[in-house]
Amino acid sequence: MSDVVDEAPPTAAESTQVVAAIAEQAARPGWRTRLAERPTIVLAGVFVVLYLITAWKDDSLFTEGGVRSVLLLACPLAVFAAAQTLCMLTGGIDLSVAMTANLAAYVAANQSGSGEARALALALGVGVAVGFVNGLAVGVFRVNPLIMTLGMASVLLGVMTTGLRGWLSGSVVVPDIVRQVGSEQLFGPLPKNLVVWAAISVVLVLGLRSSGLGRMIYAVGDNQIACRLAGVRVWQVLLGVYVLAGLLAAIGGLLFSGTTGSVGVDQTNNYLLPSVAATVIGGTSILGGSGGYSGTILGALILTVLNRLLLRLDTSEAFRQILYGLVVLALAWLYVRLTGQKVAEGGG
Amino acid sequence: MTAVVQTTMPTPTSRLSRFVQRQGWTVGVAVLLAVLLFWRISQLPKFEGFEVRTITAGTMSLAFLAMAQSVVVISGGIDLSVGPMMVFANCLAVSWMGDRGLGTCLLIALLVLVIVVALATLTGLIITVSGVPDIIVTLATGFTLAGLALFVLESPRSGVTPDFQRVIAGSLSNPWPSVLWIAGALVLVWAPLRRSRLGLAIFAVGSKRNAAFLSGVRIARTRVLAYAVGGLFTGLAGLTVTAVTLGGEPRETIGTNATLNSVAAAVLGGVALTGGVGGLLGPVLAALCLTLIPAIMLGLGWDPSNADTARGVIIILVVAVAGLVQTRRRVS
């Protein structure tokens, strides 16, 4: 146990030594510092190693079909994780992504009879509406995001289960365009949903880096009070973030239902916790203010391949889950060690 | 000649205002509970031992879990693995108890408690040593624990001796054991704890970690012990599930839902997610409220699915109102 209090205060000589050591390190960055500055390299390395290990157990990963299936499965996870990344950059979290996705996909399938455009618009509208309520509560009424989105998930579950016997009743057919995007291939090993994912990636990576809202998201996540004092309308930034998160959740839900060809009350719930895990493994701090989407992409890919590896290993479901948790923990720990993103333990 | 600066003595706050400030929230939840209880009683043709026992036994596991979550949240952390941990304790207990007699079952229960406390301590150690945020660590250990639950009990099983139920949750029309266990945990574990050095340290670490550190509180130790205490309550929750259902089910969604409910009950019970504020009585009362709401809605003839909606809306509204009240208090 690291007991902070027991450490003796450093003497003057020791302090000078420490300062000198730090100065030396700053002047001549070692490999660790260099890696810490570009954590995506570490993640890419982890991904490649994991991919090779998996391919050693499962040769299909070197075929077109194998690559395609990994991308197909990673895509909804990466889109959910995109919503999670945005929220976590502001120091929040969105635990309603899965239920938003379920409801949006269901609405789309329910409305597909009256035109695809209308179905899609309504599905995305569900996402925006949910995000708007979340954002209003978090930004204006200062409800804790964890509680707000948790409550929202509960509300959506209730709305959806009762809706199935009322306004959501009737035939459900996954719209053709959703099915095509979710299951057909573009060319070679690339599935069509990669186009959606790529578009989202470009917008998020560039937008977070160079748009006004993007910079503001980092600022709000880093220090909300300073932002408010500097004249940033924090509530508007938070509202925007949660609306975007709701929209992304709806898109993720559509992609998933396109791939599986199904809709259901809880079909994407298994993606909720992995979406948080992918974001964290990708290096976005849950405390806000640091990280980005490029890491999250790798996080989603790593988790997908890990899942595949665990499925391939001839073990029980129980053992797979145990390993999954341990690997997620180990990756998060490794990341913190490498980048020094450690949570201050006290006095710091 | 030096100017004499006169400072007025601060007027001591009245007992009443101190009580309102400290216990106001708990009293509010108690009033809410009383209203809900009267409502429920008015729905039932009779309200005797059986009806009371249905409510208390049905609430026990959530109450214990809310206590576990509250201790950790008060210490400034959060534990998303309480649900899976509860399911694991349940499954472990069932797999060992089989159809053995009461004496053996009680020994096994004790052993399960020890194991769960050890695992919770380990979680706390990982959090403090690694520096990975608690949400992430407990998220990951939650996966692992759900796997462990499946590992010790592959499929749902029942058949634990009804004697065990009689001792922990009470037989069909006897609500006293369930009430006594909860009250016992509050009076015998929590009340002495919060007055002890450790209890004070937990509140100090939760409310301002740096200030606690500078006052000589051992941060890491306190946080780990808070998780250990949480583990004790989580273990009790698992044993309660075992006693009430007389079986075990290693389903992952049970754990996830239980975690969410425990956070909801803690927050409704007046424990601030920022840490350092609250107690355990409030969350227990809130847990009772949360179990009563679906029952009342069912009694009204509503679709039980609306209970999910109602619960979500109530949680959000309460937290929003509490936030507004706190903001006003800070301004004035």
Q: List pLDDT tens digits, range B66-104.
A: 999 999 999 999 998 999 999 999 999 999 988 888 889
CB B258 within 8 A of CB B87: yes
Average pLDDT, chain A: 85
3 state SS of A186: strand
Kindly report which listed range (A91-100, A148-157, A198-207) carries the lowest average pLDDT score. Answer: A148-157
Question: A-chain residues within 8 Å CB-CB of B303?
Answer: 161-162, 165
Q: Is B99 on the interface with A (CB under 8 A)?
A: no
- Contact at CB, B143 and A325, closer than 8 angstroms: yes
Of residues B316 and A122, the one with the higher pLDDT is: A122
Question: How sure is the predictor about A29, in pLDDT bands with cuts at 50, 70 and 90?
Answer: low
User: Which residue carries 């109530």 as its tokens?
Assistant: B314
Residue A8: pLDDT band with limits 50, 70, 90: low
- Band of pLDDT at residue A33, cut at 50, 70 and 90: low
Residue B128 forms contact with A (CB below 8 Å)? yes
For B50-77, what is the mean pLDDT?
91
Structure tokens at A197: 């994912």
- The alpha-carbon gap from B262 to the nearest alpha carbon of chain A, in Å, equals 11
pLDDT digits (tens, 9 = 90+) for B262-295: 988 998 898 888 888 889 999 999 999 988 888 8
pLDDT digits (tens, 9 = 90+) for A270-324: 888 889 989 988 888 888 888 889 999 999 999 999 988 888 887 788 888 898 8
With CB atoms and an 8 Å threshold, state whether B133 touches A287: yes
- Nearest residue of chain A to residue B130 (CA atoms): A333
Task: List, for residues B197-251, the tens digit of each pLDDT value.
Answer: 999 999 999 999 999 999 999 999 999 999 999 999 999 999 999 999 888 988 8
C-alpha torsion A209→A210→A214→A217, nearest 10: 70
CB-CB under 8 Å, A318 with B151: yes
Which 266-285 residues of chain B touch chain A by CB within 8 A? Answer: 267, 273
**Selected residue of B72, B121, B144, B208 to mutate for chain A interface (largest A Cβ count, 10 A):** B144
Indicate yes or no: CB of B220 within 8 angstroms of CB of A329.
no
Cα angle B68, B119, B279 (rounded to 5 degrees) comes to 15
Predicted local distance difference test score (pLDDT) of residue B196: 94
Say what the pTM is.
0.83
How confident is the model at residue A179, as a pLDDT?
A: 84
Say how far residue B113 (Cα) sits from the centre of its chain. Answer: 16
Rounded to the nearest angstrom, the minimum Cα separation between B274 and chain A is: 9
Nearest CA in chain A to B78: A146
Task: Write the CB contacts of B96 (distance below 8 Å, at least 6 apart in sequence).
Answer: B108, B111, B112
Q: What's the whole-number mean pLDDT along residues B149-174?
A: 86
Cα dihedral sign, A93-A94-A95-A98: negative
Shortest CA gap A187–chain B (Å): 36
Identity of the residue numbered B65: L
Q: What is the pLDDT of residues A138-149, one digit of tens each?
A: 998 888 888 889
Question: What is the arithmetic mean of pLDDT over B54-76?
Answer: 93
Share of chain B above pLDDT 70, in %: 96
Radius of gyration for chain B, computed over Cα atoms and rounded to the nearest angstrom: 21
Q: Do A251 and A75 meet the contact criterion of CB atoms below 8 Å apart?
A: no
Q: What is the pLDDT of residues A68-107, one digit of tens each?
A: 888 988 999 999 999 999 999 999 999 899 999 999 999 9
Alpha-carbon gap, residue B233 to B230, rounded angstroms:
5
Q: For residue A2, what pLDDT band results from cuts at 50, 70 and 90?
A: very low
Classify A196 as helix, strand or coil: helix
Amino acid at site A294: S
Cα separation, B125 vs B103, in Å, equals 33
Does B309 sit within 8 Å of A155, measured CB to CB? Answer: yes
**What DSSP string describes A115-178?**
-HHHHHHHHHHHHHHHHHHHHHHHHTS---HHHHHHHHHHHHHHHHHHHTTTTT-S-----HHH
Which residue type does B223 have?
Answer: R
CA distance B219 to B209: 7
- HEC string of B231-279 equals HHHHHHHHHHHHHHHCEECCCHHHHHHHHHHHHHHHHHCCCCCCCCCCC
Closest CA to A290 of A195, A221, A190: A221
**What is the predicted pLDDT for the residue at B252?**
78
Residue A250 near residue A55 (C-beta atoms within 8 A): no
pLDDT in tens, B18-49: 777 777 788 888 998 999 998 888 888 887 77
Q: Which pLDDT score is estimated for A341? A: 61
Place of tokens 């959606």: A196
Task: State chain B's mean pLDDT as an integer.
Answer: 87
Predicted pLDDT of residue B182: 92
Nearest to A158 among B252, B253, B307 (CB): B307
- Which comes out higher in pLDDT, residue A7 or A245? A245
Between the alpha carbon of residue B189 and those of residues B96, B280, B314, the distances in Å are 27, 11, 30
Angle subtended by helix axes A272-281 and A97-111, to nearest 10: 130
Alpha-carbon span B174 to A96, nearest angstrom? 40
Band (A12; pLDDT cuts 50, 70, 90):
low
B315 band by pLDDT with thresholds 50, 70 and 90? confident
DSSP-based three-state secondary structure for B125? helix
| Amino acid identity for residue A119 in this structure | A
Q: Give the pLDDT score at B330.
A: 46
pLDDT at B328: 54
Judge if ipTM > 0.90: no
| Cross-chain Cβ contact A277/B139 below 8 Å | yes
Q: Does B260 touch chain A (CB under 8 A)?
A: yes
- Contacts of A16-24 with CB under 8 Å at 24 or more apart are none
Chain B: closest CA distance from residue A182 (Å): 27
Is residue B126 scored above 90 in pLDDT? Answer: yes
For residues A120 and B83, give the distance between their C-alpha atoms in angstroms, rounded to a whole number: 36
Mean pLDDT of A6-12: 58
Query: Would the CB atoms of A147 and B316 count as touching at under 8 Å?
Result: yes
The closest CB to that of A346, out of B137, B219, B224, belongs to B219
- Whole-angstrom Cα Rg for chain A: 22
Q: Which residue of B has its CA nearest to A164?
A: B305
SS3 of B66, please?
Answer: helix
Residue among B72, B308, B330 with most chain A CBs within 10 A, to mutate: B308
> pLDDT tens digits, residue range A286-295?
888 888 899 9
Tokens representing residue B246 in the block: 């007389």
